[in-house]
Amino acid sequence: MILQELKAYLEQHGTSERAVLANHFGLSEDGVDAMLQVWINKGKVSRMHDTIKGIEKGVRYTLNQGISLNVQM
């Protein structure tokens, strides 16, 4: 199942850019967002928006490990 594969990839690599995940799994970036939203809702993964002066430059995903808090703003 692709959800488990995405989580396993993050377990191995820690943090990954959305574009890298999309390329690795042959998905669109929107597809990666939709799939990882399941893990975000469970508190297992966090989404980080990289910005420079308020302009989004990319999206990264990271696996939450140990005691961590997933905050969405």
Give the position of tokens 């799994």: 25
pLDDT (0 to 100) of residue 53? 83
- For the cut 60, the answer to whether the pLDDT of residue 73 exceeds it is no
pLDDT (0 to 100) of residue 70? 59
Q: Where are the domains of the chain?
A: 2-63
Backbone angles phi, psi at 22, to 5 degrees: -60, -45
Distance CA 69, CA 52 (A): 24
| Tokens coding 34 | 């939709």
Q: What's the whole-number mean pLDDT along residues 5-11?
A: 96
pLDDT digits (tens, 9 = 90+) for 29-63: 999 999 999 999 998 999 999 888 877 789 999 99
Q: Quick one: CATH architecture of 2-63? A: Orthogonal Bundle (1.10)
